[in-house]
Amino acid sequence: MPYAGPDSDIVEGGDRRIVPVLARTQASMQRAECQLAEIELLTSMFPGHDELEITDQLALAELRDYVEGSASADSPPPPSTPQFFIKLKLDTAGMERMDVILTCAYPSEYPRVLPEITVRCAGLSRAQQTQIRTALNAYLMENCQGEVCVLSAVDWVKDNLQLFINNSLSAAPAPTKESSSPRPQEVFSRLWIYSHHIYNKTKRKNILEWSKELGLSGFSMPGKPGIVCVEGPHSACEEFWSRVKVLTWKKILIRHREDTPLDRQVKDSGTVEIIDSLRKFTGFEEAMFDPHGNRGNHMDLGQLYQFLNEKGCCDVFQMYFGIEGR
């Protein structure tokens, strides 16, 4: 007796391979419907532009066309997914109202997988914001896996922001007199980061903005594989890595690192000059090398090698790809 599930009209002798194809198409449509329904709910709850801002209107339009049937029945889901900001004004004990921004991006598999949510607040330190993001992701993983959860994330931030503020205040060290102990030695670092791929627009934007914020130079190459190089003070490089690695990745790691200790006796003014002299890149840029392939997500590795050679660091090419460039 041939299989004839609810997603197919397979008859005797039919191609059974149609079943998983239809199942995948149906699952993609269900996920897209959940995404669109949640965005419409959020729009009704946060009607003002100063409350909810859709940063990729084209992706939203493509999602709506896909769900509402403007596309053909067998069309693949849209290549881009919606990204948006939710802006909150929260009251905190003993402090003025805080502006809190949740940056949200839907992976294509959402809500089967969690959304990418970061929390930004000028009144909190970078370490506090990282702690909040980590705790929020843990909460969503435990309580909302497989369900739309942006509103749950908003409620969690409202309920827990004050707790993180209190913990920070209680953990703050008391002022101490200046010690005569030697200052820690400054170190210049260069990190060579490898990712299975870098496609997501929000991640690419974060990489550019964080490197600029932290005063790092280098470059990022989106596509498959994805490559990021950052260089500058050791503490800034470590902060950049701590932010990047907690995003949702299929695979990401530091392929190679270079640490150069600076002279212990150098003064602050000289430290900046020495660090700048060790840089191989001027500023930070997103580098594209003749994108090609079906999705335009593969770069010309020959051009990448030439780029690295011009910067005096072509030796890392073999570390990334296991072959010598030319």
- Judged by DSSP in three states, 318 sits in helix
Same domain? 150 vs 250: no
Same domain? 151 vs 71: yes
- What is the distance between the alpha carbons of residues 122 and 98, in angstroms, rounded to a whole number? 8
Cis bond before residue 111 (omega within 30° of 0): yes
DSSP 185: P
| Least confident span in 46-50, 120-124, 242-246, 261-265 | 261-265
- State mean pLDDT over 118-126: 80
Number of folded domains in the chain?
2
Query: Does residue 290 lie within any of the structural domains?
Result: yes
Q: For residue 87, which of 112, 123, 51 has the smallest C-alpha distance? A: 51
Residue 42 to residues 54, 86, 120, 186, 201: CA-CA distances in angstroms?
A: 11, 9, 19, 47, 21
Same domain? 219 vs 92: no
Same domain? 158 vs 239: no
| Least confident span in 162-171, 177-186, 212-221 | 177-186
pTM above 0.75, yes or no: no
- What is the distance between the alpha carbons of residues 79 and 63, in angstroms, rounded to a whole number? 9
pLDDT at 180: 45
Q: Which of 166, 198, 215 is the last residue of a domain?
A: 166
In this predicted model, what pLDDT tens digit does every residue of 71-106 receive, in sequence order? 555 677 888 888 899 998 877 665 567 788 898 989
Quickly list H helices, 172-249: 201-213, 234-245
- What is the distance between the alpha carbons of residues 118 and 132, in angstroms, rounded to a whole number? 9
| Least confident span in 220-229, 249-258, 314-323 | 314-323
DSSP β-bridge partners for residue 52? 86
Query: Does residue 224 lie within any of the structural domains?
Result: yes
- State mean pLDDT over 26-41: 90
Amino acid at 196: H
Token couple for 176: 């101490």
CATH number, residue 291: 3.30.70.100
Q: In what order do the strands lie in the sheet with 83-92?
A: 52-54, 83-92, 95-105, 116-121
Query: Does residue 178 lie within any of the structural domains?
Result: no
Backbone angles phi, psi at 115, to 5 degrees: -75, 165
Give the side-chain half-sphere CA count within 13 A for 156.
Answer: 22
Query: Does residue 116 lie within any of the structural domains?
Result: yes
Residue 324 has pLDDT above 90, yes or no: no
Query: Does residue 304 lie within any of the structural domains?
Result: yes
Give the structural domain span for 294. Answer: 187-321
Same domain? 119 vs 223: no
Q: Which of 132, 166, 200 is the last residue of a domain?
A: 166
pLDDT at 241: 93
